[in-house]
Amino acid sequence: MEDPRPMSRRDWLRAGFLGRAADVASRKIEDAAKVLRDAGFKGEPPAESTRGAINPARPITLALHRPPGAVPEAAFLAGCTRCDACIKACPQGVITRASGRFRGAEGTPVLDLSIAACVMCEDTPCITACEPGVLKKDRPLKMGTAWVQPMACLAHTGSFCTVCSERCPVPGAIENRQGKPVIHEAACTGCGVCANVCPAPSKAILVMPLQDRPPDAPPTAAPLRPETTA
């Protein structure tokens, strides 16, 4: 049944506008479909979904928490043989294999501070066990940096607590300033002991892995001896 009411000017203009908009949209869709057809797309879904798949060729963007003495990341990935020697040598069991989500770094050694903390062994057995030489005794032992979250820290919220500074194995890394912990980034090695022993209900210390490890210092050339004349 047709609507007996006459169309107002506003309705007429609106209908014309919507009609033109629909016509433009239709042409745009057809143009897009033509581009896809020209590119060889047949509208068939892929045989297997690739959503969430790991692309080994894609570079790693996350920093990895490497054991102490690690060489720069590119050299580490090129030299590490995934032999697990450092993992087996760690007395704390904190070194484990990187998971598949790290793509090209899968199977290489990383610290898992949810298991335990690196206690900065004086004899560094993980470095001694590393035959490929991607962990070196003459490299800085810095692995990352710890950060205090004041809102979760007992000392920052009115309670007395000095556990992190008392248990820190690195002299000068954590200072108690007016009863509150202050972490000195230059001294902190990112070992995770402070985070591991923190008694706060919500862990008040986060440990971030080192983003960039400095390259090895170039060897110094021996000074040239002045030529002597006979």
| β-pairing verdict for 109-111 and 180-183 | unpaired
* pLDDT for the residue 53: 47
Quick check: helix, strand or coil at residue 80?
A: coil
* pLDDT for the residue 63: 84
- Say yes or no to pLDDT of 224 above 90: no
* pLDDT for the residue 216: 67
Q: Which of 176, 162, 170, 39 is nearest to 117 (CA)?
A: 170
Highest CATH level, class, for 142-213: alpha beta
Fold match between domain 63-141 and domain 142-213:
yes
Give phi and psi for 99, each to the nearest 5: -80, 175
- Average pLDDT (30-45) is 60
Enumerate the domain spans of the chain: 63-141, 142-213
Q: Is-contact 134 75, C-beta < 8 A?
A: yes
Q: Residue 4: pLDDT band by 50, 70, 90 thresholds?
A: low
Number of CB atoms found within 10 A of residue 21's CB: 10
pTM for the whole structure:
0.66
* pLDDT for the residue 226: 56
* Tokens, residue 27: 């042409």
Q: Is-contact 193 207, C-beta < 8 A?
A: no
Q: Is-contact 141 121, C-beta < 8 A?
A: no
The topology (CATH level 3) of 63-141 is Alpha-Beta Plaits (3.30.70)
* Tokens, residue 157: 């919220």
75 burial level (CB within 10 Å; 0-12, 13-18, 19+): middle
Q: Residue 101: pLDDT band by 50, 70, 90 thresholds?
A: confident
Q: Is-contact 76 108, C-beta < 8 A?
A: yes
Instruction: Round the average pLDDT of the chain to a whole number and report it.
Output: 80
Q: Residue 41: pLDDT band by 50, 70, 90 thresholds?
A: low
Cα separations in angstroms, 197 against 66, 138, 200: 21, 29, 9
